[in-house]
Structure 1
């Protein structure tokens, strides 16, 4: 696909006031960013649940998509502390981040829980942002097999709909450098092939996260559909630098497909 996707997870780094300031600073830059405004580059953000509404307000009138960092597996009911997919959709969110390595490690989320959350998101019309990745560094072919198995498990019982796969090898999250380019290419290609073989996943994307930063999109070219950023994007200027890089890649893809 010609479109290039750039995502940002704010995790729990920002307080409410700091997040609001960041939203305003980024939104001002986005309104002047031709590639984002045209849709050639798709930007999505996943702030904390309390920050979802301020984010939606700050980016009103732009194509920026806002999502939650998690979602309940159930549609409704007596689930204290949970946030349903339907409520996220009701307030204007369009993405639900599901299955991040931290959710698996800290909150004991299993493949079955991830699959239930994926199904709930799709039922509500949200795009699941499925976090996929091996826990330990290994041969790229072996890592690809693990990633594809995780993908299939995450989609078990899920209704039709596009998904965004964030390939994040756990050993690269927070590391000084991303995974080697050849490693990313091999795993991303396997994930893309698995999605292409599933008629229910038309329009899906495979992006890379895990110490992602400037230069990575240019180096990977058509091997991924975008990148998923973390703390690097806390600096709005740094985020715009990646968006500029994404714009160049999207422009080249459009020329090739013309």
Structure 2
């Protein structure tokens, strides 16, 4: 990669996974420990019910475990919420914030996403901040404007956090649909995001940019070949160790 950033391949299990599925985590752990994936950081974000067990399975190995969301608050009367401190205590080292499914299903604003990112940094977690446009916004020629606004308004206030921050571009219209943007579209948006990050953050060049949106073993190499694509946020394909590892290998080769 031209900018020499270690690629990050993150699996987002979403609302999937029972205890039996920890076997997939173990398979990923064993393959990475055996050197099957070289030159990339590997992260699995299981549902909260499996996070502590997954962290225990991967303790002392190169595979990191992360949460899928966190509360902006450290503790308190917030039934059903999980704080960043709780994730950290359970063994997480990362958390995803601002995923389009959170923004849409739960009405999360950019300001709330920024507060969650700040809470994660406060707790000592690394952050994957998601941004992305809808199909209607892209068709209307508003993709860059929408993504820029989300990025600027969702960034945590800690300007020194660039080394603990990754940004995932996830075109909403490509998530779970099987439809993917062209490699040219991905290159263009990631190049745009890189320039915006350099403007917004002193160390914007060290923020890893991940692509997310129907990433599969068959399209990973083509989608992720740009120097401004520093890894992938993988959804459904991360549920099976073999598929996830195939994507990780494709990423690490670029």
Deviations 1:128-172 (Å, cap 9, x if unpaired)? 111110022526973122112101110153453131111001001
Counterpart for residue 148 of structure 1:
148
Q: Provide the aligned C-alpha RMSD in A.
A: 2.0
When structure 1 is superposed on structure 2, of 198-207 and 175-184 the one drifting more is: 198-207
User: Is the CA contact (8 Å cut-off) linking 2:182 and 2:223 kept in structure 1?
Assistant: no
Q: For residues 201-220 of structure 1, what are the structure 2 equivalents within 5 Å?
A: 201=204, 203-214=206-217, 215-220=219-224
Summarize deviations over 1:22-74 as a string: whole Å, max 9, x none: 112222212112544xxx20111111111111111111221222111110011
| Distance (whole Å) between structure 2 residues aligned to residue 78 and residue 129 of structure 1 | 26
Tell me what 2:15 maps to.
12
Q: Which runs of 5+ in 1 are unaligned?
A: 250-258
Q: Number of aligned pairs? A: 245
TM-score by length of 1: 0.87
Instruction: Tell me how far apart the structure 2 counterparts of residues 219 and 103 of structure 1 sit (CA, whole Å).
Output: 25
Partner Cα distance (1:237, 1:5) in 2: 17
- 1:26 maps to 28
CA distance in structure 1 between the aligned counterparts of 2:12 and 2:224, rounded to whole angstroms: 21
- Single out whichever of 236-245 and 137-146 deviates more from structure 2: 137-146
Tell me which moved more, 225-234 or 136-145: 136-145
TM-score (norm 2): 0.89
Match of 2:160, SS?
A: coil
In structure 2, which of residues 181, 193, 196 is the aligned counterpart of residue 194 of structure 1?
Answer: 196
Number of the residue aligned with 2:247: 242
Tell me the distance in 2 between the aligned counterparts of 1:233 and 1:92: 20
